[in-house]
Amino acid sequence: MLGGIGEVLGGALDRLVDDEIRTRVARLDLPANEIGYDRWGASPRDLARMLALVRILYRRYFRVVTTGLEHIPPGRVLLVGNHSGQLAYDGMMVCTALALEAEPPRFVRTMIERFFAQTAYVSVLMARMGQLTGIPENAERLLEEEQAPVLVFPEGERGGGRVWKDRYRIMGFGQGFLRLAMRTGTPIVPFGFVGGEEMVPSFSRMEPLARLLGTPYLPLTPTVLPLPLPTKVHLSFGPPMRFEGTGLEEDDRILPAVRSVEGAVKALIDQGLERRKGIFF
């Protein structure tokens, strides 16, 4: 029965795949094997289907305005920004921006939280989209072996589950992304994502109940999950930042660099907030 439903859904999504999507996905040049998957489990066919669907959200629902794509250098790069939206709509829009608007198109690999990577069906969907569990080993292999753009949210679930009173406040970046960038010689491109805090506004993380259910947080929201509000999104990328070192330095050297990236992200958030005329327009 589930197989039949999957075939019907796949057929419906295939009808959304037009020449633009086929061309953009083909230009990503994913090295699929004889059964249609790359070494990480990504499927060009499924990617085309999902990109055709998400394009509707990107262009018509959230009406994303993206600036600064020219700052993203070729080759490996860490895309680092603020996390929001409760259900990773921010990461979805960042990946879509680079697939649809960057020249040439870029296939972004996202480091996802362990909870989603271990959730039935969601984990398979993430793999087919080429997204991996956010552990240093995965990120390092993608950067060094694939020369890929890798999307990282250093706030982790603190940012993804941010409550309304903390909207657009940086919740504190960890050090891992900075050490990874230094160890692999990878430039960091900061970005600011504006609109995510209002998509699924949360007034409590309901952590006691979340622990009972085995989730990192459980948002208390007036919206019906997973349907977000149609907020206007401003996505801004800044110039690349480069840091020299081995990644093994003491904290007192790493922390100032982390804070500088936080500052760059916050400046881009503030620019996006200044540009927008209202939450929904």
How do residues 19-69 score in pLDDT, each as one tens digit? 999 999 999 988 888 888 888 888 899 999 999 999 999 999 999 999 999
Please report the domains of the chain, with CATH numbers, ordered by start residue: 2-275 (3.40.1130)
How do residues 228-253 score in pLDDT, each as one tens digit? 999 999 999 999 999 999 999 999 99
Residue 4 has pLDDT above 60, yes or no: no
Residue 104 has pLDDT above 50, yes or no: yes
- pLDDT band, very low/low/confident/very high, at 2 (cuts 50, 70, 90): very low
Sort strands 77-81 and 188-194 into parallel, antiparallel or unpaired. parallel
pTM for the whole thing? 0.89
How do residues 163-203 score in pLDDT, each as one tens digit? 888 899 999 999 999 999 999 999 999 999 999 999 988 88
How do residues 109-138 score in pLDDT, each as one tens digit? 988 766 665 665 666 666 677 777 768 888
Instruction: Please report the pLDDT score of residue 200 as a whole number.
Output: 85
How do residues 50-59 score in pLDDT, each as one tens digit? 999 999 999 9
CA 68 to chain centre: 16
Residues 6+ apart with CB under 8 A from 99: 24, 25, 28, 51, 105, 106, 107, 108
